[in-house]
Amino acid sequence: MRTLVSGWRTALRSTLLGAVLAATALVVPDSSVHPTDVSLVRVRQATGVSADSRVIWILGVGSDARPGQDMNRARGDALQLVGINTETGAATAIGVPRDSWVDIPGHGHEKINSALYLGGPRTMAAAMTGLTGIQPDYVMVTRFPFFEDMIDSIGGITVTNPRPFADPYLKKAGFRQGRIRLGGYDAMAFSRIRKGLVGGDFDRSANQQRTLRGIHARIRARAAEPGFIERGVLTVLQHTHTDAGPAELFEIAQAVAQVRPDRITTCVVRGRIGWVGPASVVFPDVAQARRLGDEARADATLRGC
């Protein structure tokens, strides 16, 4: 048979998205107890979103909540604003250093990672909107242990590491340069380590984006397996506190799966290290953050960084 044409299209009618992080996330071993390991909060109401909205924006937040602590009232340790263009398969991630000194609506200037602690996911979304000009459609908060399980459940990921680094506490043996395979724990360490990186928080945010690429590649590779997405959504639902319904999550997961790797663009918001009283902070380049937001808002594509 001569194949004439082939195509893959996902067109979401409305709503938005979920999380590249765990979202699609898949096949975590089932258990009889399902703690809330992920929180997916719809920021915009469905009725407030254009039916033709073609870009879904998800703010992925890695909470540093300790066991037993409400992860929506802890600090946001990893912050990635992810956009997915459901028409073109493009996607972008704008990373923000967690120590960025920004205005948190209702709370004055604070480090952006405290927005979650001070006001929860919607306040974190508002702080991100103030910095980038993009209002996320969803905020997805996850705990790192769940993140590790999720990585393991999809069989690990592969990332391209630009330079070797290590951490005496999280990864004493360190990560070598080049294409490396990461299981759940290593993916967590790769995404969290800061001290061994020359660029500190900025390099760490870039590593988180490499992790996202690795997760996406794995999901995309398996998305056509019968039942893969359905099982993933079920698992996420079992571990997620969300006001998004199953159909909505399914659409989000499919949107993630159809992103084309060659159309992913990423950037970390620059900034200047400084002090506010005794606290070391990052003064973000607000002009750059706004420019990135303006570039990516309509089509989830960055032209530069």
Which spans of this chain sit near another protein (rule: CB under 8 A)? 1-13, 51-52, 54, 86-87, 224, 226-227, 229-231, 233-234, 237, 245-248, 250-251, 254, 258
Q: Which residue lies nearer to another protein by CB, 47 or 66? A: 47
Find out whether 11 and 87 touch, Cβ atoms under 8 Å: yes
CB of 154 to another protein, least distance (A): 17
Q: Which residue lies nearer to another protein by CB, 193 or 256? A: 256
Q: Which residue lies nearer to another protein by CB, 248 or 295? A: 248
How far apart, in whole angstroms, are the C-alpha atoms of residue 294 and residue 179? Answer: 32
CA distance readout (Å), 6 to 2, 10, 150, 223: 11, 14, 31, 16
Q: Which residue lies nearer to another protein by CB, 168 or 227? A: 227
Q: Which residue lies nearer to another protein by CB, 36 or 161? A: 36
How far apart, in whole angstroms, are the C-alpha atoms of residue 300 and residue 292? Answer: 10
Find out whether 197 and 204 touch, Cβ atoms under 8 Å: yes
Provide CB contacts within 8 A for 85, sequence distance 6+: 54, 55, 91, 263, 299, 300, 301
Partnered with residue 142 across adjacent β-strands are: 38, 62
Amino acid identity for residue 220 in this structure: R
Q: What are phi and psi of 266, to 5 degrees?
A: -135, 160
Q: Which residue lies nearer to another protein by CB, 49 or 305? A: 49
CB of 166 to another protein, least distance (A): 41
CB of 256 to another protein, least distance (A): 12
CB of 244 to another protein, least distance (A): 11
CB of 122 to another protein, least distance (A): 23
CB of 65 to another protein, least distance (A): 26
Q: Which residue lies nearer to another protein by CB, 125 or 223? A: 223
CB of 305 to another protein, least distance (A): 29
Three-state SS at 144: helix
Q: What angle do CA 12, 17, 18 make, to 5 degrees?
A: 140
Find out whether 261 and 213 touch, Cβ atoms under 8 Å: yes
